[in-house]
Amino acid sequence: MRKTILLVGGLLFSISTQAQILDVIKSTVKDKTGIDLNNPKTTTNTTTSTTTPKTSTTTSPINLGSLTSTQISSGLKEALSLGVTEGVKKLGVTDGFLKNEAVKILMPEKLKKIDTTLRSVGLGSLADQGVKLLNRAAEDAVTEAAPIFTKAITSMTITDAKNILLGTDNAATSYLQGKTQSQLFTAFQPKVKASLGKVGADTLWKSIISKYNTLTGQAVTTDLNEYVTNETINGVFKMVADKESGIRNSPAMRTTSILQKVFGAQDGK
């Protein structure tokens, strides 16, 4: 019986000693690492994924909010006026039409057969002279075009200025042409008629047509005044369109504050 009591006592002492040792170990771990073994925390492995931010290329929105319709209209009209002024200056000199392939006035389509016939019988120089004088008449008449065009521009109401500003490179020129071609023709035709007589184009062409009719037995007639008037007007519009395109695409050509303000807003459209 006594042996049993001693055995139990020894076992309890051993357990107590182990508990004390364990307490010491736990205390040491906590001091050294901060981990409380009495309250172990369950840690969850989390995978940190590095996400590369997406970079999207965005086009800055066109800001027309600060521009009024009146300002846009003024900018468009100024661009057109500059185009007319510079265009007339370039065209209204000797060879301004004749040596500029973009606007050179060629033999009227109706009279192309005259050109072919004259050249076939050795009268090519006469045909060349006829074309030359058509261009000389245009070069002379176009000097009278500037005030006629300017009046058309200043009196024009641009009802859809914003869409024109954001349109094609020659949107304003096309709009002007569509709105004023008829009135420009009426005002400009007398100038062309006078120039045809001044440079001798009307007399020469009467001679050319007469020779052709004699050679072929035909009776060809044509209204050179109408033809040259239309071609001269179209030549001016071509120069205006080139100027407009330049202003739209080259900030250096925006020589006034209104051009800079208005066309600067359409950059990047």
Number of domains in the chain: 1
Q: Which residue has the tokens 């009719």?
A: 213
Q: Report yes or no on 181 lying in a domain.
A: yes
Q: Report yes or no on 226 lying in a domain.
A: yes
Distance CA 114, CA 118 (A): 6
Q: Report yes or no on 99 lying in a domain.
A: yes
What is the average pLDDT value for the chain, to the nearest integer? 82
The pLDDT tens digits of the residues spanning 73-108 come to 999 999 999 999 999 999 999 999 999 999 999 988
The pLDDT tens digits of the residues spanning 174-188 come to 999 999 999 999 999
Looking at residue 20, what is its pLDDT?
A: 52
Distance CA 76, CA 263 (A): 9
Q: Report yes or no on 44 lying in a domain.
A: no
Q: Which residues contact 43 (CB under 8 A, 6 or more apart)?
A: none
How many Cβ atoms are within 10 Å of 246's Cβ, its own excluded? 17
| CA nearest neighbour of 110 among 226, 23, 4 | 226
Q: Report yes or no on 94 lying in a domain.
A: yes
Q: Report yes or no on 261 lying in a domain.
A: yes
Residue 131 structure tokens: 């074309």
Q: Which residues contact 217 (CB under 8 A, 6 or more apart)?
A: none
The pLDDT tens digits of the residues spanning 15-68 come to 444 445 445 445 554 554 555 545 654 444 444 444 444 433 333 345 677 889
| CA nearest neighbour of 138 among 48, 229, 219 | 229
Q: Give the global pTM.
A: 0.73
Structural domain including 109 reads: 69-265
Q: Which residue has the tokens 């771990």?
A: 29
Q: Report yes or no on 23 lying in a domain.
A: no
Q: Report yes or no on 48 lying in a domain.
A: no
Residue type, 137: A
Write the DSSP string, 220-242.
----HHHHHHHHHHHHHHHHHHH
Looking at residue 125, what is its pLDDT?
A: 92
